[in-house]
Chains A and B, each alone.
Chain A
């Protein structure tokens, strides 16, 4: 069974631009969560989607948004990029409810904002 895949793996953008990251969950998984990892703040929860609906949201500004498609694939978008948005963005999927330990993480997309 293929794992969680994220594209692209690496991305370089400049301040003010926008970016879209993609996540394909494990086949059959319907819940997708997104996290941001930075050296200073560690891993922080962005949002979680289930059945195309945002079910939970972390404490990030409105520039960060996401969506989930009917095939459970998810995208996250960051508009008006800032230098501080440079981070590793991780996606995690689970079957239905993201029960503890049942979330599987992808390898992440490393975003560098110049």
Chain B
């Protein structure tokens, strides 16, 4: 049973517009949520995180929103740029032990068209 779900395998957005990537989770014990970006032939790169005690974290063009009651988080990218085209993974940690154990969603492939 998947504890972290990204229900949209792909998303296409026009350059300059907002990209919204969504993620749902089932385990209420998670205490940190993260977004990673992955280009082909490279390992994932950390993008932004949010603690479960917060509902929003912003870093430049990237903002993550957390709705604990709905067990839902989203990543907003504004404005979207062609270089943002990549696979984005949502991940959660903290449930049941070491934070070395990240639970990942299956990813959403974002395509930003010029």
B-contacting residues of A (Cβ < 8 Å)? Answer: 4, 31, 33, 35, 41-45, 48, 50, 55-56, 58, 90, 92, 94, 97-108
- What is the distance, in angstroms, from B12's C-beta to the closest C-beta of chain A? 20
B101 to A58, Cβ gap below 8 A?
yes
B44 to A56, Cβ gap below 8 A?
no
Question: Does chain A have a CB within 8 A of B14?
Answer: no
B99 to A92, Cβ gap below 8 A?
no
B104 to A43, Cβ gap below 8 A?
yes
CB nearest neighbor in A for B105: A42
- What is the distance, in angstroms, from A11's C-beta to the closest C-beta of chain B? 15
Task: Report B67-114 residues with CB < 8 Å from chain A CB.
Answer: 89, 91, 93, 97-107
B101 to A105, Cβ gap below 8 A?
no
CB nearest neighbor in B for A39: B106
